[in-house]
Chains A and B, each alone.
Chain A
Amino acid sequence: MIELTEISKHYIIGKEKLKAADNVNLKVEKGDFLSIVGHSGSGKTTLLSIVGALTKPDIGTVKINGTNLWSISDNELSELRNKLMNFIFQFSSLIPTLTVLENVLLPTAFSKERINRNDYAMALLDMVRIQDKANMYPSQLSGGQQRRVAIARAFINEPAIVLADEPTGDLDEETEAEIMTLFRKMNEDKGVTFLLVTHSSEIAKQCKKIYRMTHGILKPL
């Protein structure tokens, strides 16, 4: 389903060259539930962004369902981001000018088929226990609540792959457990593939496969 081959990416910071991804090879099968752990700054977000087609690697190929990502048109790439894989960002990622419900529905604005997903959006908000805030603006929500909205949003277009960058970073243990239950349910019932970046060994333990990132180098644990 996802196949990274000899991926490298570096950033120039000042005069130094920083390898954020260093010859990374990774294969993810459909229905996998995989986590990546590693120190801060080790390149986890960078790697996830490469998988999610948000940034182009310096070298190496990314194949999703057999398609080489950077050989297709920007429009096709956008469609992949819209339908096939969705991102849960590490940081707050809601649009401040839209309500919670509108934020959840946002990916549907860019879909080819314009079906009404209101009910599904409300159901998702319900699943992350935030349905009563549907008509509020992000600024009226706590950080954890905003994170839950972003999680709900990732599922709105029923993607096959969810790329979650520390999705439970600012949630309490109980909510974290609820979110993990939701993820597992999506994984088991709908076959959604998960790539999870986490600092929590608790979460990592619940995953089928664990990888560790150190200075841009990815190794299975």
Chain B
Amino acid sequence: MNISINTIAQNNLRRKIFRSIAIAGAVMVVSATLFSITTVMDSVELSLKRSIQRLGADIMVVPKGSEVKAKASLLSGEPTEFYMDNTIEDRIKKIKGVKQTAVQLYLLTSKYRCCDVGEMLMIGFDPKNDFTIMPWLTESLKRDIKDDEAIMGRAITAFQVGSSVTAYGRVFKIVGMIEQTGMKFIDTSMFLPMDGVRKAIEESKNKGNKTVNIPENKISTVLVQVTPDMPPSRVAIFIEYDIPGVTAIVSEEVISTVRKQLFILLKSVLSISVLLWVMAIFLIGLVFSMIVNERRREIGLLRAMGAKKKDIFQLIMTEASILSVIGGLAGIVLGGSFLFFFKDFIRSSLNIPYLWPEMLQFALLIYLTLLLSLLTGAIAAFYPAVRSMKMEPYAAIRKGE
């Protein structure tokens, strides 16, 4: 057996288990709150980032007055319909900074009245120019999609590749699935080639129980990709200026407004936990001052046996660090389980598809939480540790009696 300062520290913590638990507990509370809040904030950020990525478009042009509906649909997947003239696409194409466009036509389905599926969005897209749906096919279709074929979002579990679905009297064969995006707008929609939707609209007039009347020349949105040298927001201004009657929604801006709203909420929670953190530092500092006071004699004795000032400092700091790291780890587990058990609630109330950040980000959060916990103990114990190492051995021994 070789005895070291670590041994002394560990023994002391073990023999004073309740006090140790109390200190580690304080660190745990702080670490749990900070960890869960930052994880949620990170997830919000990631969800939003993914959303733009999956949408594939920098700008979404919709009829004026439908931007609220369109944003709601993008963010929460609320199915919605709106229409505008298809000549708009050509006009957009001519605008400076526009690299590529693709049109989409939205059509609501509803069970009992027309279709095999409940209320969701049928999205007609243009297979030739599409850049928003085809890249996310789980298995790429090595040929053009036909007008009686459909692609499903991942969340519609009732259908698999190979099965068929009836919508407005027309039968579509499912030939592909879209990768899970976490975005309800994509995950819960059905994608059909534009021709297929048009035919379904046509056929609804005689075959379906419900007739839809959308003229041939109507579309719902024009999705725009801009050239790299132009900021999407500027292109959006050009579009709105040149084409009256449309609104150009910049994906990034949708995301940043949502981000701002959520972060205002989360920031107030975060500032409360920062307050909690400061309080924990004071509390633990106080407890450590008491501990050091109570252990004056022991510290004096260690000094008499040859402990250097830095050994005493190290002893107190080691104890603080052990408790902080244990508390920090426990907090991560506690915060993590909280997030796990309440993930559905958190996700639905914040309206975010993801609750776990990416692996690397997650590891970084764990690391930072641990570092912060360690810092909590280190800051709290610093002054008591300095004070304890400065005591004169004989005075410490006598006063401790």
Contacts and interface: CB of A to CB of B under 8 A. Distances in A.
Interface of A: 49, 52, 54-56, 74-75, 78-79, 81-83, 86-87, 89, 91, 93, 95-98, 101-102, 105-111, 114, 116, 118, 153, 157
Given A55-B395, A105-B3, A98 B305 contact: no
A87 B305 CA distance: 8
Contacts of A89: 301, 304, 397
B116 interface: no
Contacts of B298: 95-96
Contacts of A78: 303, 306-309, 311
Contact of B2 (A79, A81, A82, A114): A114
Closest 6 CB pairs of A and B: A82-B306, A55-B394, A54-B394, A97-B15, A110-B306, A78-B308
B7 A87 contact: no
Given A54-B397, A89-B397, A98 B8 contact: yes
B11 interface: yes
Contacts of A114: 2, 4
Given A96-B15, A101-B1, A109 B308 contact: no
A197 to B, nearest CB: 14
Contacts of A109: 3-5, 7-8, 307, 311
A91 B401 contact: yes
B124 to A, nearest CB: 75
A111 B3 contact: no
Given A95-B8, A101-B1, A109-B5, A56 B392 contact: yes
Main secondary structure of the interface of B (DSSP, over half): helix
Given A49-B394, A95-B298, A97-B16, A102 B306 contact: no
B392 A55 contact: yes
A107 B392 contact: no
Interface in B1-30: 1-5, 7-8, 11-12, 14-16
A82 B305 contact: yes
Contacts of B397: 54, 89, 93
Contacts of B14: 97
Interface string B285-311: 000000000000010111111111111
Nearest to B1: A118
B214 to A, nearest CB: 81
Nearest to B297: A93
B393 interface: yes
Nearest to A87: B304
- The range of chain B's interface size is 20 to 34
24 contacts: A54-B397, A55-B394, A75-B309, A78-B306, A78-B307, A78-B309, A89-B301, A89-B304, A89-B397, A95-B298, A97-B11, A97-B12, A97-B15, A98-B8, A98-B11, A101-B1, A102-B7, A105-B2, A106-B8, A106-B305, A108-B2, A109-B4, A109-B5, A157-B306
A115 to B, nearest CB: 9
Contact of B301 (A56, A75, A95, A102): A95
Nearest to A115: B2
Contacts of A79: 306
A91 to B, nearest CB: 7
B228 to A, nearest CB: 63
Given A98-B3, A98-B11, A102-B3, 18 more contacts: A49-B394, A54-B392, A54-B394, A55-B395, A74-B308, A81-B306, A86-B305, A98-B7, A102-B7, A105-B1, A105-B2, A107-B306, A109-B3, A109-B311, A110-B306, A110-B311, A114-B4, A116-B2
A110 B11 contact: no
Contacts of A98: 3, 7-8, 11
A83 B310 CA distance: 17
Nearest to B5: A109
A98 B2 CA distance: 13
B2 A55 contact: no
Nearest to A121: B1
Nearest to B390: A74
B3 A106 contact: yes
Contact of B306 (A56, A83, A105, A116): A83
Nearest to A108: B3
Contacts of A56: 392
Contacts of A82: 305-307
B307 A110 contact: yes
B393 A54 contact: yes
Contacts of A93: 301, 397
